[in-house]
Amino acid sequence: MKQISMNGVWIVTNQTDRRKEVLVLAAETAFRLPRLDSGFWFHRDMRDNLYYAMHLYAASTDPEVEVSFSKNEGARLGEEMLLLVLGLQVNAPEHPMYGHWPLNLGNDPSGAAPHTLPVELLGSLIAWYHHRHGGRMGEKLQNAFEEAMRHAYMGNYYRKPVEYFNHHESKYVSQQVIWGELFQDKALAAEGRDNLRLLLDTIRANGMREYGAMPWFWHWVQAFSCARALVKDAETLQLLHDMLDYLWKVRSLTYLKGAWAAPHSRGLGHDIPADRNTLLDYVEYGGFPLPDSIARLEAAGILEVSPPTGEITASAADRTDAREVRRLIPIHPQQLAEGCLHSYTYMTPDFAVGGVWERATEFDNEQHRWDVTLPANRDGSVNKAYFFRPGNGFSEGDYRHEGGLCQVLLHRNAAVALFAPPEDPEAAGLVIGVLPKGDWQFGDRQITGLAGTVYLVVHLMNPYTCVENEERGCLEIRSEGGANGVAVEAFTVETASALGLGSLNGVAAAASGQGQAGLFSNEGGAIAFAGKTLADGAELRLNIAADGSAVLRTINGSPVSFEEYTVAL
């Protein structure tokens, strides 16, 4: 097992060994999970029982994997849990949910209602797992897998047209080609191949509507990786190779040492404000320590998901220079002419700054508009810095679900956000900020800090308060006022030194000089920012109206242009 030392932590450099590390971490975790009275480990999401059981059984039956527990006991427990999960599938052909599993098991798993979501990924994964590990299974477990596959195939839930080009349909298409192959259903295999081509051609031409969508992006990758391992038809296999190459190119554009930089159309609590769903990134890219706990497992330690073209991820894993990533995002996946969003991310080896210029009400209001992103870490700190006005779905301490009436200006290492007054004149107009752990200095409407090797300079339009949220590993900033604004700039210690700012005190003093110039104004309902960045002296201006619409965006005197934004990779 080849290793290198990074800041005193040993990093495994071989991809196969990194996957085995994740396998062992998951198996060791599974073996020690407390079981509920029902026999399951989890009730909230039935799928987690399957994911952990698959890892436990795989590790326990592989002679090349070393674990601390009895392998016989591990295999017995893994098989028992797999049988429990497979036994929850609806196996009555006359049932309208034939082939499905429940999602939430409630208080009585035997009576839990079937749900459409679990089978989307489980169908492909069960087929692959049987193919990969079936030879190690006893007759009872092997029969249970084969029965589950047959019920899934006969359930026909996956026979849906491709209309929305999203993660749901990607998993249905994967199963179309898988079941077509395994059950020698030539018509289904052909339908799946055609749908796979349509899906790939459309996202190549128009881009992916689901930008930064964690963790659902990984469902695309895992589903098509399962299909790649099972399908033999040469034409379909080439399409699967091309699809996985495309997906990994998308991932690599904004990859930063285990982190997914800048805007998300959706994200869960383990994605924002800290990148914790990092196991698949760890296996593929390496370069950061193995997480010491599992935020989301799925098939990370058992499934080969690498792109056919290895160079795709190699450059992102070892980024050496800065790059501006400008992307078009279709509002409707089949027609760019109907309008698009514009995503901008400034990627460097040490941090990223970026976001999406337009506010969009995504599913569950989960759009994450902009941030400064630092590499993923194991020190319990968040790795994102951003400010937002809470919107629909927001709850205290969650730091997701943003509101509207906000405009942004994005340029290289800096981001500016202006917030118009709330429509309700009685509302406080709260803006919440999230900052990572670090060394911080707090001034009048200015915050300056050093997080790792990156300085962060924050200017606020209104007064603020700061509290530490130990549970989430962040500083929480609160600032009230009808109109509000924030400007954030990031640069490395090396850049600061080149500017003659050799310490946090020096950076704070320089930032204070910026603030004295009067960066924000609010006159007659017009809210404005005008200032220069510390790192390169770029002149930034953003003006918005009282209704939240953007009036002026300029960088060094020139209006912001979207001409260089593209769907091309």
Using one digit for the tens of pLDDT, what is the confidence trace for 474-530? 999 999 998 999 999 999 999 999 999 999 999 999 999 987 778 999 998 899 999
What domain count does the chain have?
2
Q: Output the pLDDT for position 183.
A: 99
Query: Of 207, 235, 267, which one is at a domain's C-terminal end?
Result: 267
Give the percent of the chain with pLDDT over 90: 91
Q: How confident is the model at residue 428 (pLDDT cuts 50, 70, 90)?
A: confident
**pTM tops 0.85, yes or no:** yes
Q: For 549-560, how does the pLDDT look when each residue is reduced to its tens digit (9 = 90+)?
A: 988 999 999 999
Residue 130 tokens, joined: 């049987």
Nearest to 33 by CA among 77, 72, 76, 64: 77
Average pLDDT over residues 151-170: 98
135-154 mean pLDDT: 99
Domain coverage including residue 469? 379-559
User: 344: which strand partners?
Assistant: 326, 355
Of 246, 267, 288, which residue constitutes the final position of a domain? 267
Q: How far apart are CA 61 and CA 72, in angstroms?
A: 8
- At residue 10 the predicted structure's pLDDT band, cuts being 50, 70 and 90, is low
> What pLDDT is stored for residue 11 in this prediction?
66
Identify residue 301 by its one-letter amino acid code. G
CA distance 180 to 174: 10
Cα torsion 71, 77, 80, 85 to 10°: value is -110
| 340 within some domain | no
Q: For residue 312, what pLDDT band results from cuts at 50, 70 and 90? A: confident
CA distance 506 to 221: 46
Cα–Cα–Cα angle for 37, 39, 43, rounded to 5 degrees: 80
Residues 110, 237 share a domain: yes
Other C-beta atoms lying within 10 Å of the C-beta of residue 197: 17
Indicate whether 344 belongs to any domain.
no
Long-range contacts of 67-70 (CB under 8 A, 24+ apart): 67/24, 67/27, 67/28, 67/31, 68/28, 69/28, 69/31
DSSP state at residue 110: G
Boundary (domain end) residue, out of 221, 237, 267: 267
499 assigned to some structural domain? yes
The region that residue 431 occupies, defined by phi over 0 for left and psi between -120 and 50 for alpha, beta otherwise, is beta
User: Is the pLDDT reported for residue 427 higher than 90?
Assistant: no
Q: How confident is the model at residue 465 (pLDDT cuts 50, 70, 90)?
A: very high
Q: Is 203 left (phi over 0), alpha (psi -120 to 50) or beta?
A: alpha
Q: Does 252 fall in a domain? A: yes
